[in-house]
Amino acid sequence: MDELLLCGATGDLGGRIAARLSERRIPFRALVRPRSDTAALRSMGVELSIGDFTDPPSLGRALAGVRTVVTTANGIGRRLAGAKDVSIDRVDREGNAALVRAAEAAGVERFVFVSAQGMTDAMVDLVPFFAAKRATERLLQASPVRSVIVRPAAFQEVWLGPQSGIRPDQRLAVIYGRGRTPVPYVAEDDVAEACVRLATMDDPPPSLDFGGPEALTRHEVVDAFQRALGARIRRIVVPRRVLTFGARALRRRRPDLASILGIALSMDIGNEVGDEPLRALEIEPRPASAYIAARADATAHT
Ligand SMILES: NC(=O)c1ccc[n+]([C@@H]2O[C@H](COP(=O)([O-])OP(=O)(O)OC[C@H]3O[C@@H](n4cnc5c(N)ncnc54)[C@H](OP(=O)(O)O)[C@@H]3O)[C@@H](O)[C@H]2O)c1
């Protein structure tokens, strides 16, 4: 019987966790939706349990015999990509609550929940995604299940990549707010490794807040791309007041978009967090400049 359930295994971070568990021959089951793209999981021979955060009985079935839950599942990425069947409320708030309740009923011993940095009270009020994350954190902290709350800083692959408006191929980059606040961008592989260790180590901490080893401002990120490419990159600035106004205006109608604007604002306001917790887990984290150099190199060769 598999003793670990991974939720979100078809996602970017979740997929990296699945690959590590599989490489290390740690038996696990993945909760996947009926229409999830499971090709990578099948090729690794992972046991699949069909279910959905919006279908509580399916969570109970997936949890049979499970002692450890790891979840990265969230509704924001797919919603932003146009999916209509996911939402922050249904997946991140109600779905996570249903998973916590089902884990309690199934006698789960450890619950590793991937949350986020930057969730000050003001930001939780502004950002629906943060509000859902905090609600789940609170449920877990009050639960008899031992919880491990993982709060990574912004991911390099997301916030230094094209989806956040860094387009060296088009020689343009979006600067959110002033762009003068250092952000300790962290590599998704390092986050995945931390999740695996927290799921399997003897005595995990109740929470882990961390970033990568190198904090760069948004302007420094663009400067680094410019140096690597030997070309000027145009900067399109979205002022803080536009981020704030947009997040407020879209909060009810498009909570996913409002959340992205609010998260960009929270990063520009800043949140100091270091890489020491990763090093304490014996992870050597990748600096942001290594990611930038690799992307600039790939851009130069296309
Ligand atoms: N991006 C950042 O900078 C950042 C920073 C800190 C923390 N985080 C956190 O890190 C995690 C990112 O994970 P990721 O990159 O793997 O996300 P992702 O690529 O967006 O994948 C989302 C996953 O959730 C699953 N899912 C969506 N709706 C579901 C539902 N109703 N029932 C069950 N599963 C559902 C998706 O399944 P399908 O494939 O079927 O859609 C997919 O496996 C998130 O928790 C995020 O909050 C991100």
255 in contact with ligand 1, CB cutoff 6 A: no
pTM attached to this predicted model? 0.97
Q: Is 183 left (phi over 0), alpha (psi -120 to 50) or beta?
A: beta
- In the predicted model, residues of the chain with pLDDT beneath 70 are 1-2
pLDDT at 86: 85
Task: Out of 5, 10, 84, 136, give the residue to mutate to test ligand 1, the one with the largest number of ligand atoms within 8 Å of its CB.
Answer: 10
Count of C-beta atoms within a 10 Å radius of residue 114 = 24
Structure tokens at 106: 């199934």
| Closest ligand 1 atom to 159 CA | 3
Structure tokens at 287: 């600096």
| Closest ligand 1 atom to 133 CA | 47
Given a contact cutoff of 8 angstroms between Cβ atoms, the answer to whether 267 and 169 are in contact is no
Query: Between vectors from CA 73 to CA 69 and to CA 79, what angle results, nearest 5°?
Result: 170
- Tens digits of residue pLDDT in 245-293: 999 999 999 999 999 999 999 999 988 899 999 999 999 999 999 999 9
The residue contributing the CA closest to ligand 1 atom 44 is: 72
What distance in angstroms lies between residue 63's CA and the mean position of ligand 1's atoms?
A: 19
72 in contact with ligand 1, CB cutoff 6 A: yes
What distance in angstroms lies between residue 203's CA and the mean position of ligand 1's atoms?
A: 26
pLDDT at 85: 83
pLDDT at 245: 97
What is the rounded distance in angstroms from the CA atom of residue 260 to the CA atom of residue 267?
11
What distance in angstroms lies between residue 69's CA and the mean position of ligand 1's atoms?
A: 15
pLDDT at 2: 57
Task: Out of 41, 70, 72, 134, give the residue to mutate to test ligand 1, the one with the largest number of ligand atoms within 8 Å of its CB.
Answer: 72
